[in-house]
């Protein structure tokens, strides 16, 4: 039996968003199964973002993913449905990872190891060798890694990065330039 036609076509993106909205409403009312469904639906993307920001530390990324979902549960009542739940959750998870990053590796503690790694001879990078790139990103200094991941992977603008990391837009751009230069050196590419 065909579905009735409506004036507005349904999009595939609208279905998950409306399903999320219903799950959020139910979870806000204390329905743990609804929150569990949200977790299953969004955990892979959240984990991917915090995994990159944590320097590809699997154990730390798992902890941060769990922490992000605990915070989401605690703050669920404050979700105002002004954006998609996935956007709100992703931003919350990135903030959890960034707070962890601020509290961990001081920039200077990582700097020397990164510079040594960048000066080591490395075989030329093949674009198909994603693991090499991921390992090189993991070796970047924390702030440079955060800017690179947020800008190049997550698609944030320098203004957003600057606000989130407490730096000027110019500093964000400089950190991105620095991160890309260190990656090229670590991967054996010439500028």
Alpha-carbon span 43 to 53, nearest angstrom: 15
Which residue, 141, 126, 128, 131, is CA-closest to 180? Answer: 141
Has this prediction a pTM greater than 0.85? no
Q: What does each C-alpha distance from 19 to 23, 32, 73 come to in angstroms?
A: 6, 16, 17
Give pLDDT tens digits along the chain (191 positions).
333 333 434 344 455 678 899 999 999 999 999 999 999 999 999 999 999 888 888 899 999 999 999 999 999 999 999 889 998 999 999 999 988 887 764 543 444 444 344 334 444 444 456 777 888 888 999 889 999 999 988 888 999 898 888 899 999 999 999 999 998 888 886 55
Residue pair 20/89 in contact (Cβ under 8 Å)? The answer is no
Please name the residues in contact with 97: beta carbons below 8 A apart, sequence gap of 6 or more. Answer: 49, 50, 53, 54, 64, 68
Extents of the domains making up the chain? 14-103, 107-186
CATH 3.40.50.2300 fits 14-103, yes or no: no
Q: Which fold has domain 107-186?
A: Arc Repressor Mutant, subunit A (1.10.10)
């Amino acid at each position: 039996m065909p579905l009735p036609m409506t004036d507005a076509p349904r999009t595939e993106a609208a279905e998950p968003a409306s399903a999320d909205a219903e799950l959020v409403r139910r979870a806000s009312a204390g329905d743990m199964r609804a929150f569990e469904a949200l977790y299953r639906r969004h955990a892979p993307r959240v984990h991917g973002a915090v995994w990159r920001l944590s320097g590809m530390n699997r154990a730390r990324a798992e902890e941060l993913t769990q922490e992000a979902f605990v915070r989401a549960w605690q703050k669920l009542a404050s979700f105002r449905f002004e954006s998609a739940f996935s956007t709100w959750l992703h931003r919350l998870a990135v903030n959890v990872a960034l707070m962890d990053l601020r509290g961990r590796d001081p920039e200077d503690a990582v700097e020397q190891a990164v510079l040594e790694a960048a000066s080591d001879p490395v075989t030329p990078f093949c674009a198909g060798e994603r693991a090499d790139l991921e390992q090189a990103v993991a070796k970047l200094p924390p702030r440079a890694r955060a800017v690179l991941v947020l800008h190049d992977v997550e698609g944030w603008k320098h203004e957003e990065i600057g606000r989130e990391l407490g730096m000027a837009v110019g500093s964000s751009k400089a950190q991105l330039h620095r991160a890309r230069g260190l990656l090229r050196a670590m991967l054996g590419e010439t500028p």
